[in-house]
Amino acid sequence: MAAMSHTPSHPQTDAPIETRHGVCNLCEAICGLTFQVQGPKIISVRGNDADPLSRGHICPKAVALKDLHEDPDRLRMPVKRVSENGQTRWQTITWDEAFDLVVDNLARVREQHGPSAVAVYQGNPSVHNWGNITHGSLFLGQLKTRSRFSATSVDQLPHHLVGYWLYGHQMHIPIPDVDHTRFMLILGGNPLASNGSLMTVPDVRARFKALRERGGKLIVIDPRRTETAAVADEHHFIDPGTDAAWLLSVIHTLFEEGLVQPRHLASLLDQQEAVRTAVATFSPEAMAAHTGIDADTTRRLTREMAAADGAVCYGRMGLSTQAHGVVCQWAIQVINLLTGNVDREGGALLTTPAIDLIQLKLMGAGHFDVWRSRVRGAPEFSGELPVSVMAEEMLTPGKGQMRALITSCGNPVLSTPNGRQLDKALDGLDFMVSIDFYLNETTRHADVILPPTCAVEHDHYDLLFLHLAVRNVARYTEAIVPHGEGALHDWQIYAELARRYARRTWSLERANVRQRLTGMLTRGVMTRMPPHRLLALGLNRAKKGLSFKRLKAHPEGIDLGALQPSLVDKLQKRGRRIDLLPLGIRKELPHLMQVFPATAAAATAVPTAPSGQATLKLIGRRDVRSNNSWMHNSARLVSGKPRCTLWIHPQDASSRGLIDGQTVTVSSRVGQVSVPLHLTEDIRPGVVSLPHGWGHDRIGTDIKIAQAHAGASINDLTDDQLTERISANAAFSAVPVWIDAA
C-alpha cells in the first residue's frame, strides 16, 4: 500500500509573535494553556497559571499539540482507496466527491439490507471535541440503526448503568471532592498518570499534597504500585478481578460493626436491610483468601473511612473493565451512601456546570436492555451495544448482519478486545468511512477517510467533562492557529453529511410528512449554526448570569466555585428515592457467592496454560504520555526508554527462567504478542501488565513515528468473550495469559 505525504499548506509569515489562551483536550483534564504563536506556527506551549481548574498544571501531552498540528502524516483533505493491478493506494479527492461517495454507499447498504446493516463506532476523542457533540447526531441520528458502538463499553459503562439505577440518570456520577476530603480510597485508578478519569482533576499531585497537609489520608488498592500509589499513605496489592469481593467485605464491615451513618441521606435510602442480608457471607476474613488483603487491614480502613470528616471511595477503569465491574461501581456508591458521604462536602458531589446538558434536556437519562445484539444477545445501554460483539455482528451471516461502518475519532482495532478478529471483520465490509485525520490500524480498512481539523485549529468549550470536574468552571477558547486551506471542522463534516444523506434517503423515511418537514427544517438551521452560536443560545437558556460575550473575554476560564450539595435536592424535587439494591445487583450477588465462597479452602485454583505452566493475570497500564493510540506519532511522546514493556514480578520471571529485558511471547486464548520483559516488584506476583494503545506494526498505515516505536497491542490478547457479566462491558482486567521465551 503506497504511503502518502501530507504537508501543511500554510504560507511562511513574518507576523508578530502573539500570546493566546487555549486548552489541551487530549485527555479529561482539559488543562488551560498559554500559546506563543506566529501566524500559523506554534512557538511554545505552557500551562496557564490563571486557569481556575488546572492552575498552571501541564503534562507532556499538551506540549505535543504542536506536534499534532505540524505532523506531516496527518491527513488534511479527504482520501479514497483505489485498487490498481492488485495494489492499493490512497488518492486525494475533493470534499464534494467524498461526501457523495459516503452518502451514496451508506444509502445503498441501507436500501439493500436495512438500517441496522450500517454501524457506527465513536472513539474516545468524540467527546473531547465539541463539534462532534453538537452536530454528530444530525447525521448519525438519521441512520436509525441499532448497530451503534462507542468507547464507553471498553471503559466506563458500569458507572453510567449504576448512575441510572441509583440516581435516575446515566450522568449522575458523584465526583470526589478532592479539594476538601479527609480520606480518599482509590481502587483501579491512577490519577497521577490519567489526570483523573470520570473525575476531571488536573494538578492532582498538588491536590493530593494538600489533602495530606490538612491531615487527610490517601489509600490505594491496586495490583500494581502505580504512580498514585507511590505518593499515597498506604498501598495494598489486590488480586485482579477480586475488587468486588473486597468492596462487599467493606459493606459487610459497615453493617457488622455498626458504622452505617447515612446522615442527611437516611430518609432517601431504601433496602438497607436487604443489602445487609445480601453481603452477609462476604466478611473480610472470608474474602482475604481471594483478594490477598488481610481482614485486619480491611476492617481498619473501613473504620477510618467511616470516622473521617468527609471521605470518598473512588474506583475507575481497573474496576469497570473486569467481570464484576457493575457490582464494583455499585458497591462504591453504596459505601459512600451508607457512610453519608454522597452529596456532602469532602465526599462525592454532583457538578453544576454552566451548560448543564441534563437540566437543558440535551442528554437522555438512559435505558438498559431494551434490545439485544443479534448473535450473542448482549444488552444495549442508552442505544449502544457493547463493542465486545461488534466483530461477530460483522462476521456472522444472516438477517441483520452489519455490512457498513462509520468510525469517528476511534481506533477500535487497537482499543477493543480481540483486535485481530476485528481486523478480519473490517476487511469483509461492503463499505467503510472514517472521520479521522490519520491512516491508522483501523482507518486503513476504510474506503473513504474524512479528516477534520485538529485541536488547535478550532474553538472549544468542554460540554461533557465539566460535568465531571472537581471544580465548577466555564471556559471558551477560540482557535489557536488558522486551519489550512480547504480544511473542514468536524461539525462542518457532520452537517454536510446530514444535509446530503437526508436528501438522498428522503424516499426511505417512514415518518409522516410533518415529522419529515420538521426534521428538514431543524437540519437546515443546525447545519448553518456553528457550535459557538449554540453555546451562546445555551447560556441564555440556562439563565445563570453567564453570557457568551463574558466567556469570550475570559479565555483563561471563569471560576464558578467549589462543588456544592445538590443531589438530594434534585431527587426530592423529582419525588425519587434511592433503591440501594437494584434488581440487576440482587440477581448477581448469588453468583458472586459462588465465585468468592466464604471458605478459604474453596478459593479459586490458578488455571494452567496448554504447556502446563500456571497462567498469569494480565492487566493494563496507563502512562502520562499516552492517552490514545495516535499520540504515539509524536516524537517527543515516544522518546526515551521503551514504554511498551511487559511488567512482571521477579519471582514469576525466575520460576520461568526469564530475565530482565528479554523478549518474550505472551499468549492468550485469542492470540499472542512478542514484547520486552521488565522485572519489577511494583507489581503483584501472579500478575503481568502491558500498556494500552500500542501495536503499530500492521501493514498499510501511514504513521511513521508510531511504526518506528510499534510495541505490541494488549488487545491482541484480550478476549472478546470475556465481558462484564451484567453490562457486557469489555473485561480487560485479569485476562489469563502465559509466557514463553521468544
**pTM greater than 0.85 (yes/no):** yes
- Assess contact for 624 and 636: CB atoms under 8 A: no
Please enumerate in sequence order all residues whose Cβ is within 8 A of that of 59, keeping only pairs 6 or more positions apart, or say none. 29, 31, 195, 624, 625
Distance of CA 628 to the CA centre of its chain: 10
Distances in Å between the Cα of 436 and the Cα atoms of 219, 423, 448, 494, 656 are 40, 17, 10, 12, 43
Eight-class DSSP state of 73: T
Give the SS3 label for residue 234. strand
Give the rounded percent of residues in the chain with a pLDDT score beyond 70: 95
Q: What is the mean pLDDT of residues 669-695?
A: 97
Segment 234-288, tens digit of pLDDT = 999 999 999 999 999 999 999 999 999 999 999 999 999 999 999 999 999 999 9
Q: Which CATH architecture has domain 93-153+357-523?
A: 3-Layer(aba) Sandwich (3.40)
Eight-class DSSP state of 266: G
| Domains in the chain: boundaries | 93-153+357-523, 177-350+578-588, 605-741
Cell digits of residue 415: 482499543
Looking at residue 509, its pLDDT comes to 65
DSSP string covering 409-437: S--HHHHSSSHHHHHHHHHT-SEEEEE-S
Distances in Å between the Cα of 426 and the Cα atoms of 17, 137, 282, 378, 388 are 46, 24, 44, 21, 14
Segment 303-315, tens digit of pLDDT = 999 999 999 999 9
- Residue 734 reports pLDDT greater than 60: yes
- Residue 4 reports pLDDT greater than 60: no
Looking at residue 600, its pLDDT comes to 58
pLDDT level of residue 178 (50, 70, 90 thresholds): very high
- Phi, psi (degrees; rounded to nearest 5) at 314: -135, 130
The angle subtended at Cα 319 by Cα 316 and Cα 324, nearest 5°, is 145
CATH topology of domain 177-350+578-588: Dimethylsulfoxide Reductase; domain 2 (3.40.228)
Q: Which residues of 505-518 are buried (b: 16+ CB within 10 A; e: fewer)?
A: beeeeeeeeeeeee
Q: What number of other Cβ atoms are within 10 A of residue 160's Cβ?
A: 26
Q: What is the mean pLDDT of residues 664-674?
A: 97
CATH of region 605-741: 2.40.40.20
- Residue 86 reports pLDDT greater than 90: no
Q: How far is the C-alpha of 275 from the C-alpha of 700, rounded, in Å?
A: 54
Segment 384-437, tens digit of pLDDT = 999 999 999 999 999 999 999 999 999 999 999 999 999 999 999 999 999 999
Looking at residue 3, its pLDDT comes to 41
Strand partners, 736: 617
Eight-class DSSP state of 378: P
Segment 505-545, tens digit of pLDDT = 876 666 666 666 666 667 777 778 999 999 999 999 998 88
Segment 111-130, tens digit of pLDDT = 999 999 999 999 988 888 99
Looking at residue 631, its pLDDT comes to 86
Helix/strand/coil (H/E/C) assignment for every residue in 599-639: CHHHCCCCCECCCCCECEEEECCCECCECCHHHHHCHHHHC
Looking at residue 742, its pLDDT comes to 84
